[in-house]
Structure 1
Amino acid sequence: MSSIQHLVEANRPGLQQYEALYKKLHANPELSHQERETSALMVKHLRGLSDELDIRTGIGGFGLIAVLRNGEGPVVLARADMDALPVAEQTGLDYASTKYATRGEKETPVMHACGHDVHTVCLLIAAESLISAMGQWTGTVVFLFQPAEETGDGARGMVDDGLYTRHGCPVPDIVLGQHVAPIRAGVVASKSGAIMSSSDSLKVTVFGRGGHGSMPHHCVDPIVIASHIIVRLQTIVSRVVAPDDVAVITVGSIHAGEAENVICDRATFLLNIRTLSKPVRKTVLEHVNRVIQAECDAGFCEKPPLIEHHMSIPATVNAVEVEAKMRQTMADVFGRAFVTAPQSALASEDFSILADAVGKPYVFWLFGGTEASLYDSMAVSGELSKLPINHSAQFAPDMSVSLRTGGDAMVAAVLTFLTLRD
């Protein structure tokens, strides 16, 4: 048994209290930038763990850190995200969310449909474990609880609010993060290089000239022009991006007009772009802008289109050297349950901003949340694509196994980069 494996097992806290905490969090989710009660609950629990924790709150909204100093050595930052999604839960769990919250001008149901409640509890488990093991390591650990991951601006908000300056967070030597995923519960998966994609979101407004539906020759129809743009955008993926590169362009929303016999004066659509490399990202963004401009010119728009770039998240790219170091630890701790992720995920994370802001390396990995027997049966029947995935109203991680796996994985990763005592 490796020393880290022994430390993980010897210092794992009883999980019953954490299961109860998880149920409370799951039943009481909060949207991005509204994580007041979740943040307060984190602080309350952390204060109950140890007086050694230096807790600082109100960072970039409801973000917080708890700093555990234990002598000279490396600084390791471990991150969890706290926010939920505007989704109406359909899991049927006895602790399912029935919460509603105001989003914009509307009341919307709220659910932890992405597993951030798992992440926060796993980080608390890791904090208790590492406090228990303080006699066996030296260095500093920062436990960071981040708001607003789903809106893509939570990590940036913490950094811009002075995370590493006025809030006094020690600059880390390594930043660590993880995400529960719809893979077999108990499995941990990592890979070097890009593990998650970049994400760019645009709001595009096409301006036409409105009028009566019976007189289109006196109008400039923005719906027709927007439709041409939306179809033409897919040729960027099929005809501009190389076949062995990856890009996804999705138009997820389009709004125009109010009546069938009126040609409206503008059409608006929302666009999302996913890529895995900086060169491909740059190429796609350039061509998206060119297509929009060209189609508006071809449609005789009297006013240039308005292209608003309202969210941008970089790809999550694990450096080979640090991922290899963590990989060895995970293989020792999890054995055959640690695997190499077969491909990059086209989901996105703002996690890397916490490291990039101070020019430090990071490692991000996935761990399984799908109940093992369900996963195995669906694999045998070839129906894995039917399993509830992140952001689904039916996404329900296997609570006990997910918490244990995520807690153990974070402890193992943190210990990998601290100095262990002989």
Structure 2
Amino acid sequence: MTSTASARRILSGQDALRDWQEALYKDFHVHPELSHQEERTSGIVAEQLTGLGYEVHSKVGGTGVVGVLANGDGPTALLRADMDALPVKEATGLDYASTAVAIDDAGNQTPVMHACGHDVHVSTLLGAARLFAEQRDAWAGTLIALFQPAEELGDGAKTMVDGGLAGLIPTPDVALAQHVLVHPAGTVGPHPGPFLSMADSVRITLYGRGSHGSMPHLSIDPAVLASMVVVRLQGVVAREVQPGEFAVLTVGRIAVGAKSNIIDDHAVLELNIRTYSQPIRDQLLAAIERIAKAESAASGSPKEPEIEIYNSYPLTDNDADATARITAAFEDFFPAGTVQDFGRQTASEDFSDVPTALGVPYTYWGVGGTDAAVYAAAEADGTVSSLPANHSPMFAPVLQPTLSSGTAALVVAASAWLGRA
């Protein structure tokens, strides 16, 4: 039996799961939870896995859940889904739209939404986990279903590793994961090598001297200083990074002052950088530090700026052999034209922290979540970039075939290792 034949046998019960899976998805969507607060979600996941006969480990690294299903001798494959949502107010207008609110880490009340599709990830992995449990005669080995918290903070994978993950599971032969993206629903997008960028957020506190707005000569104005830093930073990628190398440097937040007639004594900038290589990352961080310090000195700041790097994400660099293996399996299973190389994505992920810590190869791919007709029309008139993307309050993957194709992709990928010969 080929791995594709195994996958088809495992997926033979997929239609019977449709109502169950869609109901789960809508429930997760209506009840999103912020990073490290995924108590309800992880509880449902643990309950479902236990009912399917998995050996379940809950509260791994806080709210992480791992299910292990041993099914005779054979390889071990790990499938992963992330569970957390975002502090975004939903504007989709769906009848199952989120109206949830939560208290964030700063103690502030915020609306919460699954604006990145993690509810799709949880639902498709639960669907795959159920199909593997119900069709054990079609595969052999061990399946690990890992549900990770706090991907949006970039530390959820590490918390599971630090929480003793390696001691709870057999070492997998491969780790596999996927993300719903703005591509036609029903498509899958494997890509060898670097797929998702590494990322860092940087917080810069710039210091000045406060004064009355009518007496600027007595101040060192941090608003002006911050403006000069922002302008100078715009030249880093354009004039310091070698053409052809990928780099993004975005200033996402400027905070200074509280009133129009008060010159504050400090300003805060928050930046985000994206790169595909460590040397370029180091170059950007060095340029940020150089510019912040130099502009502070030029302004006569009373002290050097404080620079904090946080929410760092590793490079998602897909193993060539594992990617070739799942690509062949996808092409053998899915209809012609639906397996597409989505190319490099500028988004970032912390999934790779798990296989890196375990010392195993991995591959990560995209699945389409946009209505195919809507996407085709946007492609025809050149407006694909205007379609609601991940992290938008309007982001809403179509229910089908997103769930069915995402579930199938997980089953087909894992079957490339676990399918019976």
Q: TM-score range by the shorter chain?
A: over 0.9
Q: Quick check: 1:8–1:408 contact (8 Å CA) kept in 2? A: no
Q: Deviations over 1:241-283 (max 9, x none)?
A: 1121111111111111112222211001111101112221121
1:132 to partner: Cα distance? 2.5
Q: Find 1:27's aligned residue among 21, 30, 51.
A: 30
Q: Give the aligned partner of residue 205 of structure 1.
A: 205
> What TM-score comes out, normalization by structure 2 length?
0.96
Q: Quick check: 2:249–2:272 contact (8 Å CA) kept in 1? A: yes
1:4 to partner: Cα distance? 3.9
1:319 to partner: Cα distance? 1.6
* Aligned-partner Cα distance in 1 for 2:285–2:337: 39
Q: Give the aligned partner of residue 133 of structure 1.
A: 135
1:111 aligns with 2:110: no
Give the partner amino acid of 2:33: E
* Aligned-partner Cα distance in 1 for 2:338–2:355: 25
Q: Deviations over 1:272-302 (max 9, x none)?
A: 1011122211211121111111111221112
Q: Deviations over 1:216-258 (max 9, x none)?
A: 3332111111111111112110011112111111111111111
1:58 to partner: Cα distance? 0.6
TM alignment of 1:147-186, pairs within 5 A = 147-165=149-167, 168-186=168-186
Mean alpha-carbon deviation: is it higher for 208-217 or for 74-83?
A: 208-217
SS at match of 2:377: helix
1:406 aligns with 2:406: yes
SS at match of 1:400: coil
Q: Give the aligned partner of residue 19 of structure 2.
A: 16
Unaligned runs of 5+ in 2: none
TM alignment of 1:323-362, pairs within 5 A = 323-362=323-362
Aligned residues: 417
1:5 to partner: Cα distance? 4.6
SS at match of 2:409: helix
Q: Deviations over 1:85-124 (max 9, x none)?
A: 1111111111111111111222111111111000001001
1:272 aligns with 2:272: yes
* Aligned-partner Cα distance in 2 for 1:364–1:327: 11
* Aligned-partner Cα distance in 2 for 1:306–1:6: 56
* Aligned-partner Cα distance in 2 for 1:271–1:363: 29
Distance 1:135 1:8, change over 3 A: closer
* Aligned-partner Cα distance in 2 for 1:81–1:421: 28
Q: Give the aligned partner of residue 146 of structure 2.
A: 144
* Aligned-partner Cα distance in 1 for 2:114–2:306: 34
Identity fraction in percent = 45
Give the partner amino acid of 2:358: V
> What TM-score comes out, normalization by structure 1 length?
0.95
Q: Quick check: 2:6–2:139 contact (8 Å CA) kept in 1? A: no
Q: Give the aligned partner of residue 7 of structure 1.
A: 9
TM alignment of 1:256-405, pairs within 5 A = 256-405=256-405
SS at match of 1:388: coil
- Tell me the C-alpha RMSD between the 2 structures: 1.5
Q: Give the aligned partner of residue 245 of structure 1.
A: 245
* Aligned-partner Cα distance in 1 for 2:76–2:160: 18
Give the partner amino acid of 1:145: F
Q: Quick check: 1:4–1:329 contact (8 Å CA) kept in 2? A: no
SS at match of 1:258: coil
Q: Deviations over 1:122-171 (max 9, x none)?
A: 00111111122322322211100011111111111111121113xx1222
SS at match of 1:157: helix
